[in-house]
Amino acid sequence: MSEPIIETLYTAEEIAVRNAALAAEIRAAGFVERPLVVAVLKGGFVFAADLIRALHGAGIAPEVDFMSLSSYRAGTTSSGTVTVLRDLETEVAGRDVLIVDDILESGRTLAYAKQLLAERGARRVALAVLLDKPGHRVAAIEAEFVGFTAPDLFVVGYGMDMGHSFRDLPYIGHVIVSK
């Protein structure tokens, strides 16, 4: 099998422009009083790193923490079986929380995360995703802030991987595997 070909979907420049616009949307939605950004590992880390700097540019100084979740799709409920592999160190009660992740697809993982942080007493929990893939939604969840509504393709780069590769690409691409 030859090397996969990666076709650019969103360039680094397009992503940067979108991040600045998202930060303005987040500010306009009232996330101004030291919100807590929860970056979901691993796929959300590059987006979160750029988004917090865009938030800084919009005059917002968030606190940042990290969460790692694993989702098993065999579950029968809409939320499936989600396990917290790495939990927050930060108390979320009374906070405005912004969960930041790479892709909203079935929504199982993020529906679980949103509910968990709400149950811990967050004042408000919103979701910022780089890509929305609405075609395969299982859980009843939408993101308040969406970078791009993506076509139903497998994508890599900008934090997103295929078999642990390609997270380092500065752009988002679609993988074409030729035989």
What DSSP character marks residue 163?
T
Among 23, 39, 43, 117, the residue binding Mg ion under the rule CB under 5 A is 43
159 binds Mg ion (CB under 5 A): no
- Those residues whose C-beta lies under 8 Å from the C-beta of residue 3, and which sit 6 or more positions away, are none
The nearest distance, CB 149 to ligand IMP, in angstroms, is: 13
Cβ closest to ligand IMP, residue 50 vs residue 60:
50
Question: How many other β-carbons are positioned within 10 Å of the β-carbon of residue 42?
Answer: 15
Task: Find the farthest-apart pair of alpha carbons in the chain and give their distance in angstroms, rounded.
Answer: 53
Packing angle, helices 45-57 and 12-28, rounded to 10: 60
The nearest distance, CB 5 to ligand IMP, in angstroms, is: 15
Q: Which one of the spans 45-53, 84-92, 96-104, 116-124 is the region binding ligand IMP (CB under 6 A)?
A: 96-104
Among 155, 157, 158, 169, the residue binding ligand IMP under the rule CB under 6 A is 155
- Cα 45 to Cα 14: distance, rounded to the nearest angstrom: 18
- CA–chain centroid gap for 76, Å, is 24
Among 105, 126, 146, 159, the residue binding ligand IMP under the rule CB under 6 A is 105
79 binds ligand IMP (CB under 6 A): no
107 binds Mg ion (CB under 5 A): no
Are the C-beta atoms of residues 125 and 110 closer than 8 Å to each other?
Answer: no
- Cα 95 to Cα 122: distance, rounded to the nearest angstrom: 5
72 binds ligand IMP (CB under 6 A): no
96 binds ligand IMP (CB under 6 A): no
Q: Binding partner of residue 71 among ligand IMP, Mg ion, none, CB under 5 to 8 Å per kind?
A: ligand IMP
157 binds ligand IMP (CB under 6 A): no
- Cα 94 to Cα 177: distance, rounded to the nearest angstrom: 47
**Residues of the shown chain interacting with Mg ion in the complex, contacts defined by CB under 5 A:** 43
List interacting residues with ligand IMP (CB under 6 A). 43, 71, 101-110, 154-156, 160
